[in-house]
């Protein structure tokens, strides 16, 4: 299987701080892959390194057969990498409709299809970002990502700060996206969400991959949970 995304031994820095120390991971066509680890492990930095917001100083990022580690982020995004950022990145003074129409690129997802996936957003099209609940903001952030016509969706901690009932809705959406064939790299701290629809898992600690395997294998490895996930 040729991977859709291949991250090869990347080293990423913030100034002098050597954060990612040789991280490698892959996402295959149609796969949902989870990237787990404690606070500060380097999960967001890995996502930022993939989309070239914080380019790695060493190593390679190959997407759809093409090295992208020298491309500016907007070019990486146009190749089909869509980021749903940690913290959601919703603008308080734009409406739901404005967020969605600004993001739209011709691709597999129409506005109507996205609103079918998130019926609540259809009811809230005229609401401003700062009038939305946390769950609505997360749904909007994912909806916006889909309208960017992704070939790979990068989801950074979608459950953060959400009530358990809303986390279940996010999990259901991930399941439907997977069923639609969209590959996802999912960063999570919520283990049950992370593993619900996941094919494979990478666990990061201090900027290095310390576990790589199937979701079921991770369930059975309690020492990995305790040491690296804090659960």
Summarize as ranges the residues that interact with Mg ion (CB under 5 A): 43-44, 86
CB 206 to ligand ATP: min, Å: 8
Show the binding pattern over residues 64-103: x = contacts ligand ATP (CB under 6 A), - = does not.
Answer: ----------------------x-----------------
135 binds, among ligand ATP, Mg ion, none (CB under 5 to 8 A by kind): none
Question: Of 98 and 212, which has the nearer Cβ to ligand ATP?
Answer: 212
Minimum distance, C-beta of residue 94 to ligand ATP, in the bound complex (Å): 25
Give, as ranges, the residues between 140 and 199 that touch ligand ATP (CB under 6 A).
Answer: 189
Least distance to ligand ATP from the beta carbon of 67, Å? 22
Report the distance separating Cα 33 and Cα 135, nearest Å.
23
Residues 27-56 that bind ligand ATP (CB under 6 A): 37, 39-45
Q: Choosing among ligand ATP, Mg ion, none, which partner's interface includes residue 203 (Cβ < 5 to 8 Å by kind)?
A: none
Least distance in angstroms from the C-beta of 148 to ligand ATP:
21
Task: Considering only residues 103 through 142, tell me which ones interact with ligand ATP, judged by CB under 6 A.
Answer: none
Please select the residue that binds ligand ATP; options are 5, 19, 90, 229, rule is CB under 6 A. Answer: 19
């Amino acid at each position: 299987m040729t991977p859709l995304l291949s991250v090869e031994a990347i080293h990423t820095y913030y100034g002098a701080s050597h954060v990612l120390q040789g991280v490698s991971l892959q996402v295959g066509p149609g796969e949902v892959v989870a990237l787990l680890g404690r606070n500060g492990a380097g999960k967001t930095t890995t996502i930022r390194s993939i989309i070239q917001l914080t380019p790695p100083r060493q190593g390679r990022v190959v997407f759809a057969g093409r090295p992208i580690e020298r491309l500016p982020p907007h070019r990486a995004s146009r190749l089909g990498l869509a980021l749903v950022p940690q913290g959601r990145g919703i603008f308080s003074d734009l409406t739901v409709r404005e967020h969605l129409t600004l993001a739209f690129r011709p691709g597999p997802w129409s506005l109507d299809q996205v609103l079918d996936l998130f019926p609540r957003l259809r009811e809230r099209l005229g609401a401003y970002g700062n009038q939305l609940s946390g769950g609505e903001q997360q749904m909007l952030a994912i909806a916006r990502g889909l309208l960017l016509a992704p070939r790979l969706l990068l989801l950074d901690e979608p459950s953060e700060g959400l009530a358990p009932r809303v986390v279940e809705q996010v999990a259901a959406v991930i399941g439907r996206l997977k069923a639609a064939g969209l590959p996802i790299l999912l960063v999570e701290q919520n283990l049950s969400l992370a593993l619900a629809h996941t094919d494979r898992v990478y666990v990061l600690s201090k900027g290095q991959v310390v576990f790589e395997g199937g979701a079921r294998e991770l369930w059975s490895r309690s020492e990995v949970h305790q040491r690296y996930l804090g659960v």
